[in-house]
Amino acid sequence: MEAYLVAIAIVAAIYVLLALGLNLQYGLTGIINFGHVGFFCVGAYTAALLAEKGWPPLLSFSAAAALAMLAAWPMGLISLKLREDYFAIVSLGFSEVVRLVVTSEKWLTSGVQGITGIPKLFGGLATGLPNSLAVLAVLVAVNLLAIAAMRRIVTSPFGRTIEAIRDNEEAVKALGKDPAAFKIQVLMLGAALAGVAGAFYAHYIGYISPDQFIPLVTFQIWMAIIMGGVGRISGALAGTFILMLFLEGSRFLRDIMPFISEVEMASVRLGVVGLALVLFTLYRPTGLMGDFTRK
């Protein structure tokens, strides 16, 4: 039982990293990034390919973060030029292009066959439960690091500036601060977190292929931060918890709701994600944890 719970915790921790990144972008700056899975994908492939070449994890994970940031940089430039809903469409397109590139460039990514046999982290040191616990411990540490960094950002002049950008960009400009640089930095930071999440994902699942990086992943993270609470770190945690509870819980849902056939379960899962998005947007736009920046 423990190992199963640890497995869920590991996946949840990976999702928290994704949610923290998105939360930073949307919750704090109002950037609507519908292409989060693209950065996740870049991180996963970078880590997997470098691991194949025998790079040590510390380097390959840094490279995953760096490449995801690099991919975010042009997106940041574009986001400056576009109204946020236009940027949303562009970012959705971006993640689809990332998927097409990893599908198409077989020489690098082996295309639709995917990359197999990605080694486990700490595989040489321990196996089984101890190994999973070690991975989880590192993930939790990385999450705590990210959270600490975000807390600092929120309370720093930088944080106050990005929130001001979200609330009133013109006023920030009038004060002589350049919102552009802030926006780009925030987008890149969020992408870096997604890249690291991707690296963990690749090493944990051990097999990656383009069809694991579809937009639905992005929207699941969106569901998490919208349910948990936009702009709040605890919101990202709570939202991810609910998301995992729902995704894994639906395994047991059939025991409670026998009238839903197995085949319908996939539709029901999708419908619940959709309904959560609609209802929270309508009735509780600040999410379960509220938005502490607007007390």
Partner 1 sequence: MIPFIELALNGIVSGLVIGLAALSITLVFGVARFPNAATGDVMSLGAFAALAGASASGTLLIGGVFGIAVAAFVSLACYFLVFQKLSSRPPVASLLASIGVAFVIRAVMGVVFGHQQKVFDLPLARPWRVLDIRFHPTDLKISLAALATLVAVFLILHATPIGRRMRAVADDPSLARVSGISPRRIMVALWLLSGAVAGIAGILVGIKTVVTPEMGWDLLLPAFAAAIFGGIGHPVGAVVAGVILGIVQEVATPFVGFTYKIALSFAVLLAVLLIRPKGLFGTVAGAR
Partner 2 sequence: MNLTRRTTLQSLAAAALAPALGGQAFAQGATFRIGALNPVTGAGSPYGSGMQKMILAAAEMVNAAGGAGGRKFEVFAEDTQTTPQAAVLAAKKLIEVNKVQAVVGTWSSGISLAVIPLTNDANIFLMNTSGAPALSVPPANAKGLSYRFQATNDRFGRAFAELCEKEGFKRPATMAFNNASGIGNTEGFKKAWEKKGGKVVANVVYEPNQTSYRAELQKVLAEKPDVIVTGSYLGDTTIILREWFQTGETTKWVIPAWAANPQLVKAIGNEAAEGLFAVDSISNEGSPAFSAYDAAYQKAMNQPGLSNVYAAMTWDMVVTLALAMEAAGPNADIAAINKKIREVANPDGAKVSTFAEGKEALKKGKINYEGASSVLDFDEFGDVTPDFSVSRVEKGEIKRKYLVKI
Q: Is 113 in the site for partner 1 (CB under 8 A)?
A: no
Q: Is 171 in the site for partner 1 (CB under 8 A)?
A: no
Q: Is 285 in the site for partner 1 (CB under 8 A)?
A: yes
CB of 161 to partner 2, least distance (A): 37
Answer positive or negative: Cα dihedral of 78, 80, 84, 85.
negative
Work out the angle at residue 86's Cα, subtended by the Cα atoms of residues 80 and 90, and round it to the nearest 5 degrees.
85
- Selected from 255, 263, 294, 295, the binder of partner 1 by CB under 8 A is 263
CB of 122 to partner 1, least distance (A): 37
Determine the interface stretch with partner 1 among 45-53, 58-66, 148-156, 261-269 (rule: CB under 8 A). Answer: 261-269
In the range 214-253, which residues lie near partner 1 by CB under 8 A?
Answer: 219, 222, 226
CA dist 290 and 295 (Å) reads 9
CB of 284 to partner 1, least distance (A): 12
Q: Which does 170 bind (CB under 5 to 8 A by kind): partner 1, partner 2, none?
A: none
Q: Which does 117 bind (CB under 5 to 8 A by kind): partner 1, partner 2, none?
A: partner 2
Q: Is 100 in the site for partner 1 (CB under 8 A)?
A: yes
Q: Is 204 in the site for partner 1 (CB under 8 A)?
A: no
How many chain residues bind partner 2 (CB under 8 A)? Answer: 36
Q: Is 127 in the site for partner 2 (CB under 8 A)?
A: yes
In the range 5-44, which residues lie near partner 2 by CB under 8 A?
Answer: 7-8, 11
Q: Is 215 in the site for partner 2 (CB under 8 A)?
A: no
Whose Cβ is closer to partner 1: residue 80's or residue 137's? 80
The neighbour count for residue 7, using CB atoms within 10 Å, is 15
- Selected from 54, 56, 124, 128, the binder of partner 2 by CB under 8 A is 128
Contact letters for partner 1, residues 52-81 (x by CB under 8 A)? --------------------------x--x
Q: Is 291 in the site for partner 1 (CB under 8 A)?
A: no
